[in-house]
Amino acid sequence: MNSNVLKYTLSGLVIAFCAWSARELLEYWSFSPYDRVAPWAFLLWLIPLLKLKGKAPEPSWALLLMAVVIGVYGTILSDTSVASVALALSIVSVTPCRWANLLWLVFSVSWMPVLGDWAAFQGLMPKSVHILRVVIILLGLALYFKTARSCKRCSCSS
């Protein structure tokens, strides 16, 4: 079997496992008034994958390994927040610019239930959390693409 096929199959399986591990996200997004906008934030958060344009870069094996470990931990604990981190790690691991990935990972909080839980604990209104999610994801995308553009001039895009 071709080693490239094996690499991409393995990274795809890790992403699939992490998505399965975070399957309760759908319940949060459907029933929590604080998380109604989170699925849209998630879809916006996925925009950096479009810049791959069918090219598959070398996955970050360290991030994939962390995603598996955290995903197993989240599955054992049945903790959606932990599983969401694993899902974010697994998706981020397949993009080329490593410095921009750190930013992208930080701004994944825009779609995670932990933001809604924090807002509820702070006594914020759900509509203010929706606005906060949109601001976080738009700021995150702007910073990601600014950083990713500068990665083309350095050696981190390999």
Domain ranges of the chain: 3-150
Residues 6+ apart with CB under 8 A from 67: 14, 15, 18, 86, 87, 89, 90, 93
Q: What is the DSSP letter of 58?
A: P
pLDDT digits (tens, 9 = 90+) for 107-117: 999 999 999 99
Alpha-carbon distance of 116 to 36, in angstroms, equals: 9
Alpha-carbon distance of 118 to 108, in angstroms, equals: 15
Length of the chain: 158
Positions in the chain short of pLDDT 70: 1-4, 53-56, 97, 151-158
Closest CA to 144 of 84, 96, 81: 96
Its pTM surpasses 0.85: yes
Contact status, residue 84 vs residue 27, Cβ threshold 8 Å: no
DSSP string for 114-150: HHHHHHHHHT--HHHHHHHHHHHHHHHHHHHHHHHHH
pLDDT attached to residue 53: 67
